[in-house]
Amino acid sequence: MPTPSTDVDLALAAELGQQLRVDSVRSSTSAGSGHPTSSMSAADLMAVLMGRHLRYDWDNPGNPANDHLIFSKGHASPLVYSIYKAAGVVSDEELMTGYRRFGSRLEGHPTPAGLPWTDVATGSLGQGLPDGVGVALAGKYLDDLPYRVWVLCGDSEMAEGSMWEAFDKASHYKLANLIAIVDVNRLGQRGPTELGWDTGAYQRRAEAFGARTFVVDGHDVAAIDQALAQAGDLSGDQPAVILARTVKGKGFSEVEDAEDWHGKPFPADMAERAVAELGGERHLLVRGPRPPAARPRPAAGDQAEVKLPVYERGAKVATRKAYGEALAALGARPDIVAMDGEVSNSTYASLFAQAHPGRYFEMYIAEQQMVGAAVGMSVRGYRPFASSFAAFLTRAYDFIRMAAVSRADICLSGSHAGVEIGADGPSQMALEDLAMMRAVHGSTVLYPSDATSAAALVQAMADLDGVSYMRTTRGGYPVLYDSGEPFPVGGSKVVRSADADQVTLIGAGITLHTCLAAADQLAGEGISARVIDLYSVKPVDTAALTAAAAATGGRVVIAEDHHPEGGLGSAVVDALTGAGRTELAVAHLAVRLMPGSGSTPELLAQAGIDADGIAAAARRLLA
């Protein structure tokens, strides 16, 4: 590689901006899709940033002192990849033949897969900034390193509420290390944005949310340079927002500030004219300032001794309480962090907060930002546990889905699931969470029935890849297992069985307890029922399920405190039918109505997932 320029003056930065534009045009035209105009508007901003302010060790993306650069406007991927080319870490050939092609790491919207300089996947707007808040929280409160987190935002995405959750938390936590750079090019996908070029309106909003603001002409490299220098100053206690008035398609007069050019590559002849107008191809190699020396990252700490809580068999303990107690114990590992959406006294994340206040982050009622913060902390190598009522995690589904695209390792816990919660009514009852979480790629979904298994599974979650989720129960139910019993992810427990079993009853959480009661009822009638604790909903224990079904004449009753689609029943039936030709007689009991308020027994009975309902279903299968 030729020697990169490391002393980037403003003239060179301006040249670099043109190169980034040219490469954005070339790459998107070669791919036949992509967003050149959205890249061109931000090219000068990014050129000055990468050339003169971004402290980055391009040879070592794992350098803990590196600044972070997140493209919240992920559709400007040609610009990201052109920056990587300018830094010499992606070749021009890869850019021209890889962008948006099958099997390439240069995907249509950036993801970390194969790109060590990309922290998080973006492309669903309004997420890069909340993710950046998480990285900045880690920088200020956990790493104690002077890195900055630069986030390039689109103006359209300022309409997403999650952006304001991010500004709110950034100012609450005094994140001077977070700098949002808003590319105000006034044009969204289908036309003008709500606020157009009214940078003053954005400024008032950002200031009201506690940010320092800088309004600049986004094509004046000197003005940009000054704003970046001031915004990147870590001495204050406010996040910074640079509001840059820009022109979409800047530099190519045929499309500048024109509607109907969003997300469209230029045809070859136009691309040729664009490159010519932009001064032709360049192949500058540029590297800006290096990060300060930093001590090595602390060891992951997974060797720390974790003493899980111990529960006595038969004691009535809510699994949400076991979650909190186990999490507090797990806090012996210094990489463990926790956050909650203002209900920590319900989820029992409060126990972690009390034990490890320096690693607990109150996110208030902002579930999207909570998950974004978890993703951001995972970027820095921490293992976040984020909790709320399970019902309210639906608020963050887009963030959870994108966490999987980000290959983030995060742990979620949702309490107060199902009709079991009782009087609060359906707004507080998670009845869709298992379906939602199972459908996430690579996810793990756990639903323990007792405190011992809950505690063991909390510990297991801390070492899982991807998005893991634990559903916990509000009420206290008997501890079923002795301390030390293993609960492998993907396993299950046969909690009651005999050779003469005629039917298999499958439950998890509250319904394992109603299955056990049903088995007692049936035993009194001479019917022998096998009972399975399906604590691992995904991955699911196909072998145990098929064995049980085979042993009980294919007769299976599944009971779940969830709507009938996509949850426990679906996991079982998918497993049983996915394992080869099979003969089955299935009764799937679930919450098939819209519940109201009531006591737990009343609501379980109404839904038909109490012991009576389960026993009756078993009898029907045997009739």
Active site residues: 367
Cβ 152 to a copy of itself shortest distance, Å? 16
- Judge whether 457 and 485 are in contact, CB under 8 Å: no
Residue among 19 and 77 whose Cβ is closer to a copy of itself? 77
Residue among 211 and 451 whose Cβ is closer to a copy of itself? 211
C-alpha 591/C-alpha 606 separation (Å) is: 9
402 binds a copy of itself (CB under 8 A): yes
Residue among 383 and 438 whose Cβ is closer to a copy of itself? 438
> Could you give the C-alpha distances from 337 to 219, 270, 397, in angstroms and in order?
41, 51, 21
Cβ 532 to a copy of itself shortest distance, Å? 17
Cβ 201 to a copy of itself shortest distance, Å? 8
582 binds a copy of itself (CB under 8 A): yes
548 closest CA partner among 488, 615, 495: 495
580 binds a copy of itself (CB under 8 A): yes
Cβ 305 to a copy of itself shortest distance, Å? 30
Cβ 247 to a copy of itself shortest distance, Å? 20
354 binds a copy of itself (CB under 8 A): no
Single-letter code of the amino acid located at 447: Y
497 binds a copy of itself (CB under 8 A): no
173-202: which residues touch a copy of itself (CB under 8 A)? 188-190, 193-194, 201
Question: How many residues appear in the chain?
Answer: 623
Cβ 186 to a copy of itself shortest distance, Å? 13
C-alpha 367/C-alpha 339 separation (Å) is: 10
3-state secondary structure (DSSP) of residue 183 = strand
Q: How far is CA 67 from the centre of its chain?
A: 21
98-117: which residues touch a copy of itself (CB under 8 A)? 100-109, 111, 113
- Judge whether 214 and 227 are in contact, CB under 8 Å: yes
Cβ 38 to a copy of itself shortest distance, Å? 13
- Judge whether 443 and 437 are in contact, CB under 8 Å: yes
404-463: which residues touch a copy of itself (CB under 8 A)? 404-405, 422-428, 431-432, 435-436, 438-442
The residue from 56, 197, 266, 397 that contacts a copy of itself (CB under 8 A) is 397
37-76: which residues touch a copy of itself (CB under 8 A)? 74
550 binds a copy of itself (CB under 8 A): no
**Treating both helix axes as pointing N-terminal to C-terminal, what angle do 221-231 and 43-52 enclose, rounded to 10 degrees?**
60
- Contacts (Cβ under 8 Å, ≥6 apart) of 214: 227, 230, 231, 240, 241, 242, 243
- Judge whether 81 and 27 are in contact, CB under 8 Å: yes
> Could you give the C-alpha distances from 104 to 20, 76, 114, 466, in angstroms and in order?
20, 17, 9, 21
Instruction: Describe the strand order of the beta sheet including 493-496 as a list of residue ranges.
Output: 493-496, 529-533, 503-507, 555-559
Q: Which span sits near a copy of itself by CB under 8 A: 143-151, 233-241, 360-368, 455-463? A: 360-368
Angle of CA points 235, 238, 240, to nearest 5°: 95
398 binds a copy of itself (CB under 8 A): yes
378 binds a copy of itself (CB under 8 A): no
Residue among 387 and 492 whose Cβ is closer to a copy of itself? 387
Could you identify the residue written with the tokens 């439950």? 507
- Contacts (Cβ under 8 Å, ≥6 apart) of 58: 87, 88, 89, 117, 287
Count of residues near a copy of itself by CB under 8 A: 115
597 binds a copy of itself (CB under 8 A): yes
The residue from 122, 468, 502, 511 that contacts a copy of itself (CB under 8 A) is 122
330 binds a copy of itself (CB under 8 A): no
Alpha helix ranges (H) inside 91-160: 92-98, 128-137
Q: Which span sits near a copy of itself by CB under 8 A: 61-69, 277-285, 300-308, 581-589? A: 581-589
Residue among 102 and 307 whose Cβ is closer to a copy of itself? 102
372 binds a copy of itself (CB under 8 A): no
Detail the DSSP E strand segments found in 316-382: 316-318, 336-340, 360-362
Single-letter code of the amino acid located at 99: Y
564 binds a copy of itself (CB under 8 A): yes
Residue among 431 and 480 whose Cβ is closer to a copy of itself? 431
Handedness of CA 71, 74, 80, 81 (dihedral sign): positive
Cβ 372 to a copy of itself shortest distance, Å? 11
C-alpha 106/C-alpha 101 separation (Å) is: 8
573 binds a copy of itself (CB under 8 A): yes
- Judge whether 341 and 370 are in contact, CB under 8 Å: yes
Residue among 276 and 365 whose Cβ is closer to a copy of itself? 365
Q: Which span sits near a copy of itself by CB under 8 A: 234-242, 325-333, 518-526, 594-602? A: 594-602
Handedness of CA 231, 234, 235, 239 (dihedral sign): positive
Cβ 425 to a copy of itself shortest distance, Å? 4
C-alpha 290/C-alpha 80 separation (Å) is: 19
583 binds a copy of itself (CB under 8 A): yes
**Residue 543, both tokens:** 């072998």
Q: Measured between alpha carbons, how far apart are the two ends of the chain, in Å?
A: 78
The residue from 51, 78, 88, 126 that contacts a copy of itself (CB under 8 A) is 126
Q: Which span sits near a copy of itself by CB under 8 A: 245-253, 518-526, 599-607, 611-619? A: 599-607
Cβ 62 to a copy of itself shortest distance, Å? 22
Print the binding letters for residues 204-243 with a copy of itself: x by CB under 8 A, - otherwise: xx-xxx----------------------------------
